[in-house]
Chain A
């Protein structure tokens, strides 16, 4: 039954950039369900800013493929969620629209970059939301806010309409309070789209099952080693112990290429970003460029003024990495490292069914705590490898440290979302009890 959903959330965490007070909906699998959409996913007729001032007032004339699918299944798009500017951050503090607060503890960040989506779900404002994950941007806020978030296999969900940050790494994925809801949303958004040439026709249609008898779980030493808060590691280990109780088998393993993963990731994502973001020049979007100047000066002025600091930093890093004479040293090397990470994952996932470890090395940071960009980049170390390898990964809440949520990360083979969803479901249904 079609209708209109009125939506007036008590958004004290600043989860939304835009809300739709009367959201139309239709018939289908998600009829009347309020869904929040990260603000880097194009919504026809609804402002889409990517958390950036440079896109203030930009209203796309078309829907992203996933948004068409949501509307097609009757969902009510109730708003666009806050995010790190263009996805560049791990805390949602780089948003041009103010930081989002963690609903579990408002002195903490919700994680990022899909912090608005995670907070909206965790605060109970919506039952489900879409996020995007370039280097952990779904899993990190899911872990910090105590909800479930899935980064699908690269190519399983169409990116058509997702405003690109790092095309070769990112995926749109579902976020919700339970594995079942994540699975339900995944089913809707994974329908094939020929407009994304990097996507595959591998729709997800799966009912989660808690049967994980004889599931082989790999535990990479790198996920429990240096830089990981021992209390977080311990919480995750005990969660994995519960999975063993349910019939799973654990195997120690190693992913040596992880030593280069973070460096490779930051070279690739900043390189792609420097190209993707070049089009925002004040001519067609955002605050207009001054017309009395030469065009290159006008472009420079708009971009210098309306991009945030972190975005400018990454554009400059990427521009440098792609420059003549440096390409081989940075971008070329990063691609080699990326292939190594992928091969390591394929090797390990040939021996085990899923890889398990913490989603984040720590619990949610305090607001303003990660003012040094490098220490913020380092916190992506456990999420970035799945993006480099293109494999699916899910974060499911597995306890708390100092009252703050900890996420268990389960990483699967290409197109084996079903398997990690079952493992997460088993833990959620039986393990946490």
Chain B
């Protein structure tokens, strides 16, 4: 059963001011309704004035996604009642969007390159936000916060080219990276990305899943929906025609919407308060920065790192930039330690790479490169360092951690004596090793490592232990 997925992605463009007024977009840490004016409050008589920067950002995206920019585009009103929509219509674009017909390259489930077609990308304003005091259905009333009202959104619509929830997630990851490389989007901001997904099993009805607000959520919601639809089909039950379902992030399920609320006739018509846009000529002038695919290829070429590492490191602008700051120590070592160790440790702590000073991490790499510490000790130093960063204190320097914890690779320690003690104390393991069980050697090395607190190189220790057993009478 082939899965068919198309996405509608709303991203907040990170302009300094809103789409139609000069209110600041930097509202997230501020009290409700403090970033508002007559325009974004929809007060009677206020008029929209288009933010030039938002158009420029939209065109940047259009160019990066190889889209066409028609000679003329136009804003339109989408009319519907909802308490978070101050004018009872949203200024958006309808039949004359800013850009049409583009592509974005991703890797499919087999790791092959695949082009996902983009139908259109258009500008629109974000509505306000409802706050249900007491939470959800139990709230006796709702409060409205208009700080978000008028934030510029770019709605990007794909063709139904995606074939699995995993592919959908990879597409979003690549799109996010592209937008961040362009400098038009900050994916770390809460609510800066919202997705509606159309999903069907080939030959059956399609369902729209709304209200997905994270990358992980997309995969989760779509996986749930694939299972749900497959089960219906297997049981011979119909998939409801053009159903709209809502994703419940907390429970990881989709639920049917009350159909009445979704039956809209938006009565689109051209926004009479704005003039049509003729910006096709502007696209020529726009210069694009290096984008993820180009950067990935450059990393492989310039630094001699593996394609896999290059892919991981360029998948996020901040990580790519971090890597470039520390690559000079030793590109391969830096790639390995960033991609294989650092990202995992950050993920475990829900930390952003922004919290790690590149100089500190480079210091750690230097200690490794100079053989001052072992790999094992390095992981320990890294963890201690990240914990200090996360605590909001000044990040501790790796060298200082090594010093304080006594983690430097041991010199002048009589390893041979420790090895002999361990061999003498574990006759069974020695017996097993002699009988051909390689695992027994690792056990013995582990015992020695414990005694030396990780300050010796495990490979060298292995050789030492093996040699020692050879020379010891059996």
Residue of B nearest to A332 (CB): B269
Assess A64 versus B50: contact at CB under 8 Å? Given A278-B81, A331-B269: no
Cβ–Cβ contact A296 & B81, under 8 A: yes
Cβ–Cβ contact A197 & B274, under 8 A: yes
Q: CA separation between A323 and B43, bound complex, in Å?
A: 25
Chain A neighbourhood of B83, CB < 8 A: 283, 295
Assess A42 versus B45: contact at CB under 8 Å? Given A198-B273, A198-B275, A275-B267: yes
Any B CB within 8 A of the CB of A55 = yes
For residues 252 through 298 of chain A, which have their beta carbon under 8 Å from a beta carbon of chain B? 271-272, 274-275, 278-279, 281, 283-285, 291, 295-296
Minimum CB–CB distance for A63 against chain B, Å: 10
Q: What is the size category of the interface that chain A forms with chain B?
A: 35 or more
Chain A neighbourhood of B49, CB < 8 A: 194-195, 197
Minimum CB–CB distance for A428 against chain B, Å: 33
Q: Which of B88, B141, B269, B274 has the most CB of A within 10 A?
A: B269
Any B CB within 8 A of the CB of A21 = no
For residues 13 through 59 of chain B, which have their beta carbon under 8 Å from a beta carbon of chain A? 38, 42-50
Minimum CB–CB distance for B38 against chain A, Å: 5
Any B CB within 8 A of the CB of A118 = no
Chain B neighbourhood of A235, CB < 8 A: none
Q: CA separation between A291 and B274, bound complex, in Å?
A: 35
Residue of B nearest to A271 (CB): B269
Residue of A nearest to B275 (CB): A197
Cβ–Cβ contact A275 & B81, under 8 A: no
Assess A62 versus B38: contact at CB under 8 Å? Given A163-B44, A198-B275, A278-B88: yes
Chain B neighbourhood of A64, CB < 8 A: 45
For residues 122 through 156 of chain B, which have their beta carbon under 8 Å from a beta carbon of chain A? 141, 144
Minimum CB–CB distance for B146 against chain A, Å: 10
Cβ–Cβ contact B275 & A279, under 8 A: no
Any A CB within 8 A of the CB of B87 = yes
Chain A neighbourhood of B303, CB < 8 A: none
Minimum CB–CB distance for B391 against chain A, Å: 45
Minimum CB–CB distance for A274 against chain B, Å: 8
For residues 64 through 107 of chain B, which have their beta carbon under 8 Å from a beta carbon of chain A? 77, 79, 81, 83, 86-89
Cβ–Cβ contact A322 & B267, under 8 A: yes
Chain B neighbourhood of A162, CB < 8 A: 45
Cβ–Cβ contact B273 & A279, under 8 A: no
Minimum CB–CB distance for A313 against chain B, Å: 17
Scan B264-279; emit 1 where CB is below 8 A from any A CB, else 0: 0101110011110000
Any B CB within 8 A of the CB of A156 = no
Cβ–Cβ contact A291 & B141, under 8 A: yes
Assess A272 versus B88: contact at CB under 8 Å? Given A283-B83, A296-B81: no
Cβ–Cβ contact A323 & B265, under 8 A: yes
Scan A151-177; emit 1 where CB is below 8 A from any B CB, else 0: 000000001111110111000000000
Q: CA separation between A82 and B43, bound complex, in Å?
A: 21
Q: CA separation between A49 and B422, bound complex, in Å?
A: 92
Chain A neighbourhood of B86, CB < 8 A: 279, 284
Any B CB within 8 A of the CB of A28 = no
Chain B neighbourhood of A278, CB < 8 A: 79, 81, 87-89
Any B CB within 8 A of the CB of A350 = no
Chain A neighbourhood of B274, CB < 8 A: 197-198
For residues 308 through 366 of chain A, which have their beta carbon under 8 Å from a beta carbon of chain B? 319, 322-324, 327, 331
Of the residues B42, B44, B141, B272, contact of A60 by C-beta under 8 Å: B44
Cβ–Cβ contact B45 & A322, under 8 A: no
Cβ–Cβ contact B47 & A62, under 8 A: no
Chain B neighbourhood of A296, CB < 8 A: 81
Residue of A nearest to B50 (CB): A197
Residue of B nearest to A325 (CB): B265
Assess A61 versus B43: contact at CB under 8 Å? Given A197-B275, A271-B269, A322-B79: yes
Q: CA separation between A275 and B79, bound complex, in Å?
A: 7
Minimum CB–CB distance for B409 against chain A, Å: 68
Any B CB within 8 A of the CB of A192 = no
Any B CB within 8 A of the CB of A58 = yes
Residue of B nearest to A50 (CB): B44
Q: CA separation between A275 and B268, bound complex, in Å?
A: 10
Cβ–Cβ contact B273 & A167, under 8 A: yes
Assess A279 versus B38: contact at CB under 8 Å? Given A197-B49, A198-B275, A296-B81: no
Cβ–Cβ contact B47 & A196, under 8 A: yes
Any B CB within 8 A of the CB of A48 = yes
Chain A neighbourhood of B44, CB < 8 A: 42, 48, 50, 55, 58, 60, 163-164, 279, 285
Cβ–Cβ contact A161 & B269, under 8 A: no
Cβ–Cβ contact A324 & B265, under 8 A: yes
Chain B neighbourhood of A58, CB < 8 A: 44
Residue of B nearest to A277 (CB): B88
Residue of A nearest to B21 (CB): A195
Q: CA separation between A346 and B78, bound complex, in Å?
A: 33
Chain A neighbourhood of B275, CB < 8 A: 197-198
Cβ–Cβ contact A197 & B47, under 8 A: yes
Q: CA separation between A48 and B269, bound complex, in Å?
A: 28
Residue of A nearest to B261 (CB): A296
Any B CB within 8 A of the CB of A299 = yes
Residue of A nearest to B266 (CB): A324
Q: Which of A64, A284, A295 has the most CB of B within 10 A?
A: A284
Q: CA separation between A159 and B48, bound complex, in Å?
A: 11
Scan B242-273; emit 1 where CB is below 8 A from any A CB, else 0: 00000000000000000000000101110011
Chain B neighbourhood of A196, CB < 8 A: 47, 273
Cβ–Cβ contact A164 & B45, under 8 A: yes
Q: CA separation between A257 and B42, bound complex, in Å?
A: 36
Q: CA separation between A328 and B331, bound complex, in Å?
A: 63
Assess A61 versus B81: contact at CB under 8 Å? Given A197-B273, A275-B267: no
Cβ–Cβ contact A323 & B267, under 8 A: yes
Q: CA separation between A327 and B274, bound complex, in Å?
A: 20
Cβ–Cβ contact A159 & B87, under 8 A: no
Minimum CB–CB distance for A188 against chain B, Å: 19
Q: CA separation between A160 and B47, bound complex, in Å?
A: 6
Residue of A nearest to B142 (CB): A295
Q: CA separation between A416 and B275, bound complex, in Å?
A: 22
Cβ–Cβ contact B88 & A281, under 8 A: yes
Scan A368-398; emit 1 where CB is below 8 A from any B CB, else 0: 0000000000000000000000000000000
Cβ–Cβ contact A197 & B48, under 8 A: yes
Chain A neighbourhood of B88, CB < 8 A: 275, 278-279, 281
Q: CA separation between A91 and B171, bound complex, in Å?
A: 60
Of the residues A61, A279, A331, contact of B42 by C-beta under 8 Å: A279
Minimum CB–CB distance for A271 against chain B, Å: 6
Q: CA separation between A323 and B269, bound complex, in Å?
A: 10
Chain B neighbourhood of A285, CB < 8 A: 44
Q: CA separation between A64 and B141, bound complex, in Å?
A: 33
For residues 116 through 167 of chain A, which have their beta carbon under 8 Å from a beta carbon of chain B? 159-164, 166-167
Q: CA separation between A58 and B273, bound complex, in Å?
A: 23
Minimum CB–CB distance for B152 against chain A, Å: 16
**Can you sample 28 A-B contacts with CB below 8 Å?**
A41-B45, A42-B43, A42-B44, A60-B38, A60-B45, A61-B43, A64-B45, A159-B45, A159-B47, A162-B45, A163-B44, A164-B45, A166-B272, A197-B48, A197-B49, A197-B273, A198-B272, A272-B272, A275-B89, A279-B88, A285-B44, A295-B81, A299-B81, A322-B79, A323-B267, A327-B267, A327-B268, A327-B269
Beyond the given A60-B43, A275-B89, A279-B86, please list 8 additional residue pairs across the A-B interface where CB-CB is below 8 A: A62-B46, A160-B45, A166-B272, A167-B273, A197-B48, A278-B89, A285-B44, A327-B267
8 smallest A-B Cβ distances: which pairs? A278-B88, A322-B267, A167-B272, A168-B272, A163-B44, A161-B45, A42-B45, A279-B88
